[in-house]
Amino acid sequence: MIPLHQAIYSSVKSSYLCLIVMNDMSDEISDNKFESALRVNDGVEQPSQVDENAVKLFKTKRKELLSVDEYVDGILNGNRTILSQAITLIESSLHTHKLLAQQIIERCLPYSGNSFRIGITGVPGVGKSTFIEAFGTYLTGKGHKLAVLAIDPSSSRSHGSILGDKTRMEELSTDMNAFIRPSPAAGSLGGVARKTRESIILCEAAGFDIIFIETVGVGQSETAVHSMVDFFLLLMLAGAGDELQGIKRGIMEMADAIVINKADGDNLLKAKTARIEYQNALHLFPPPDSGWNPEVETMSARLKDGMDRVWDILQRYRELVFNNGYFELNRRRQMKLIMYDAIEQMLTDHFYDHKGVKGEIPQTETDLLGHRISSYQAAQKLFNIYFSKE
């Protein structure tokens, strides 16, 4: 574990170190290497400046944990440092931190729910961070308060996520009306998703009225993001072919809007053609129960062109689903889904944590692979051990 102060100085010197300061108690939560408060990301360019939050947190590093009241007051007053520290508690693997986080969440819940939650997905390179930077500043320019969160399950493999990285969004990261939080470090998708969902509650209580949740458009994380947002935006490129873009049919089906990025220069015409093709393709999907017909638009995040068209889509969607009751219906469905997901997760964790089950798994696998028992019998055997009284 790198001491916090050392890591801060390294981030200035090194060309590849990107410091993500998660809290003021990094030493204490280092019991799990994947849950480190500090994560070092490979392949990210040197940040242009030291993260001011990091410095502030560094100065208060040795401070005791705040009381629940202090966290809650800080969040409700829109204090971004305290919000950041509270999210760190959500992400911590320490039991005491988790308990504290739950109390804070409970107190913030009555103040949550008032944002427009927007999921943003697309394969790496499509222009997500350029878009978030451009569209984010467009929105804060309109007086909105924007929080950018991320879900990147691949971080469990690469030991570090770049999604939501502030160095990718330089303008937005210095914007007082924006709050950028990188993807929680590693863990199961379910675990990462839970942390992001809980972070949404705190961000909303802190007064952020628009929340972006960014994810990479290649895997299951889309389903997780879809289950926590009001609107799902898919970024695509013209002429890259769906397969090349790794976009699965299911992801397109979830999209409330497809925005074709990089509609500039030589690419402009191709983007316009792609727009018509995607629009036609979307008509083939069954109509969503939101009553909204997904739309396709073009933009250039680099030239900041098309931001008003994207905003127009989002506003019209919101108006429609507010009025037809879908907004509320969807939120309620999501809340139930989260509860059942949580139950499944708890049961699974409990099962695999069971001492007897843990001890018996290797032999059961050997018996299974030696064709001595069937997969079903193997599962039943472990299940019986789980329910035995020992």
Minimum distance of ligand GDP from residue 341's CB (angstroms):
27
Choice between 251 and 301, CB closer to ligand GDP: 301
Question: What's the closest the beta carbon of residue 273 comes to ligand GDP, in angstroms?
Answer: 17
Shortest Å distance, C-beta 113 to ligand GDP: 28
Query: Got the DSSP string for 315-379?
Result: HHHHHHHHHHSHHHHHHHHHHHHHHHHHHHHHHHHHHHH-HHHHHHHHHHHHHHHTTSS-HHHHH
Residue closer to ligand GDP (CB basis): 22 or 132: 132
Binding of residue 219 to ligand GDP (CB under 6 A): no
CB of 201 to ligand GDP, least distance (A): 26
Site for ligand GDP in 129-168 (CB under 6 A): 129-130
Between residues 89 and 216, which has the closer beta carbon with respect to ligand GDP? 216
Helix boundaries (H) for 112-162 = 128-141, 155-158
Does residue 170 bind ligand GDP (CB under 6 A)? no
CB of 32 to ligand GDP, least distance (A): 28
Nearer to ligand GDP, 41 or 130 (CB): 130
Q: ∠ at Cα 40 (35, 42), nearest 5°?
A: 125
241 in helix, strand or coil? coil
* C-alpha to C-alpha distance for 254 and 157, rounded to whole angstroms: 26
126 near ligand GDP, judged by CB under 6 A: yes
Chain centroid to CA 140: how far?
A: 20
Minimum CB distance to ligand GDP, residue 310 (Å): 12
User: Within 13 A of 306's CA, how many CA atoms are on the CB side?
Assistant: 23
User: 19 or 260: whose CB is closer to ligand GDP?
Assistant: 260
Among 97, 128, 194, 197, binds ligand GDP (CB under 6 A): 128
Two tokens at 301? 């995040």
Q: Toward ligand GDP, which CB reaches closer, 122 or 160? A: 122
Contact set for ligand GDP, span 285-314 (CB under 6 A):
300-302
Angle at 28 between CA 23 and CA 40, to 5 degrees: 55
Q: Whole-angstrom Cα distance, residue 22 to residue 92?
A: 9
Q: Quick one: 265 or 286, whose CB is closer to ligand GDP?
A: 265
Rounded to the nearest 10 degrees, the angle between the axes of helix 80-91 and helix 52-59 is 80
Output the smallest distance, CB 318 to ligand GDP, in A.
Answer: 24
By C-beta, is 254 or 357 nearer to ligand GDP?
Answer: 254
Contact between 168 and 129 under an 8 Å Cβ cutoff? The reply is yes
Contact indicator for 179, 51 with CB cutoff of 8 Å: no
Residue 1 has a CB neighbour count (10 Å cut-off) of: 13
Strand order across the beta sheet in which 146-151 lies = 178-180, 146-151, 210-216, 116-122, 231-237, 257-261, 295-298
Stretch that binds ligand GDP, among 104-112, 118-126, 281-289, 339-347 (CB under 6 A): 118-126
- In the complex with ligand GDP, which residue's Cβ is closer, 237 or 378? 237
Per CB under 6 A, contacts with ligand GDP among 230-289 are 261-262, 264
* Interacting residue with ligand GDP among 3, 113, 125, 359 (CB under 6 A): 125
3-state secondary structure of 184: coil
Q: Which stretch binds ligand GDP (CB under 6 A): 28-36, 127-135, 218-226, 338-346?
A: 127-135
Task: Name the segment binding ligand GDP (CB under 6 A); options: 68-76, 117-125, 188-196, 205-213.
Answer: 117-125
- Nearest partner of 135 among 262, 344, 279, 300, judged by Cα: 300
Q: E strands along the chain, which residues? A: 19-21, 38-40, 116-122, 146-151, 178-180, 210-216, 231-237, 257-261, 295-298
Nearer to ligand GDP, 125 or 141 (CB): 125
Closest residue to ligand GDP in the complex (CB): 127
Q: How far is the CB of 47 from ligand GDP (least distance, A)?
A: 15
Q: How many residues bind ligand GDP (CB under 6 A)?
A: 14
Q: Which residue among 53, 102, 124, 334 contacts ligand GDP (CB under 6 A)?
A: 124
Q: Which residues bind ligand GDP (CB under 6 A)?
A: 122, 124-130, 261-262, 264, 300-302
